[in-house]
Amino acid sequence: MIKFLDLKKINQAYETAFQEKLKSVLDSGWYILGKEVQEFETNFANYCGTRHCIGVGNGLDALVLIFKGYIQLGKLQKGDEVIVPANTYIASILAVLQADLVPVLVEPKLETYNIDSSLIQRKVTPKTKAILAVHLYGQLAEMDKINKIATENDLLVVEDAAQSHGAISNQKSAVKNQQSSVAHSFYPGKNLGALGDGGAVVTDDSDLAKVIIALRNYGSETKYHNDFIGVNSRLDELQASFLNLKLPNLDADNERRRVIAKRYISEIKSDKIILPFWDLSKNHVFHLFVIRTKDRGDLQHYLMENSIETMIHYPIPPHKQKAFEYWNDLSFPITEKIHREVLSLPISPVMTMDEVDYVVKVLNKY
């Protein structure tokens, strides 16, 4: 059986090192906001080329805390509109709602699955105050164009990089644009994954960083002095210690994903399958390798019969979810087509070339 993502194999490579870290954290007697978190914040800020990194509980909270931070700074107000891609994982949209802001959905480009920047301007109203760009499947959204629209309309830019750690220029765009901030998730299945939940905000904006440091810890900078209405969303020492071990291998892991993606793209030959678009000038980190096909159920069944596990990212678009009943009648035909046709093939740093050979061979016989 070729697993979609063999998380056990990915983490077993670190078994001895993880156990040493566990012992060291255990013996330290300090489990929340200690030296491992501090070290990770320094390491990840350096890796991203940003001034600040704030470890938080998960990727969703990283997004929510960015928005809440901007509200505390007076840069956003409850009820402001935020442009978000209609084609995204639901967390992006939930984050906007949790901060009492109003998501305005914009269709993606069918080729890249990321937000179509040419459609953003017409959705901008006097209430629009920010754009949330999502780098879906590990491919960067068109940040140059998005930053330009943001500058022209005086909008903040927030980036959801939960699927794109190491994709160069989500970090760079944050550096170029002082108004920008980036959310990461370390959910176990992401390119940099913990053994539980974890997340981080990276930014060059020192005011924002300062507020988020307080917000994640009950709104408190000094113990028992609460300056903001905060939350409890902290990266814990143990997860940070594991991430410190894994971060040095992230670039090599991403390169391994690209090698597999290159092989899939050059060797899968089927007129029934649409392969992903990859702008080679950007370094796609292939969190997911997503193909499209008309009869997805049939292809997924065929692959399963041949012992190849696949997944669907995602089967139901956010605006068709029961949770968003008030959106259910809206029409986003490109988003809906993508959700009908996408299928994710196995890809990971621990997948062997023999396994890639086999997936290609089976697909070419379909």
Ligand X SMILES: *Cc1c(COP(=O)(O)O)cnc(C)c1O
User: Applying CB under 6 A, which residues contact ligand X?
Assistant: 58-60, 88-89, 91-92, 134, 160, 162-163, 185, 187, 197, 199
- CA 43, CA 132: separation in Å to the nearest integer? 25
The nearer residue to ligand X, 2 or 65, going by C-beta atoms, is 65
Instruction: Please give the full DSSP string across 78-147, using - where no structure is assigned.
Output: TT-EEEEESSS-HHHHHHHHHTT-EEEEEPBPTTT-SB-GGGTGGG--TTEEEEEEE-GGG----HHHHH
The nearer residue to ligand X, 185 or 244, going by C-beta atoms, is 185
Tell the burial category of 276 from Cβ atoms under 10 Å away from its Cβ (0-12, 13-18, 19+): buried
The nearer residue to ligand X, 147 or 164, going by C-beta atoms, is 164
Q: What is the CA radius of gyration of the chain?
A: 21
Nearest distance, CB of residue 243 and ligand X, angstroms: 13
The nearer residue to ligand X, 96 or 291, going by C-beta atoms, is 96
Strands 156-160 and 289-292: unpaired
Residues recorded for the chain:
366
Nearest distance, CB of residue 38 and ligand X, angstroms: 21
Nearest distance, CB of residue 188 and ligand X, angstroms: 9
Nearest distance, CB of residue 62 and ligand X, angstroms: 8
The nearer residue to ligand X, 92 or 181, going by C-beta atoms, is 92
User: Which residues fall within 8 angstroms of residue 226, CB to CB, at 6 or more apart?
Assistant: 218, 219, 220
Nearest distance, CB of residue 98 and ligand X, angstroms: 11
The nearer residue to ligand X, 120 or 136, going by C-beta atoms, is 136
What does the CA dihedral 191, 193, 199, 205 come to, rounded to 10 degrees?
Answer: -40
Nearest distance, CB of residue 113 and ligand X, angstroms: 11
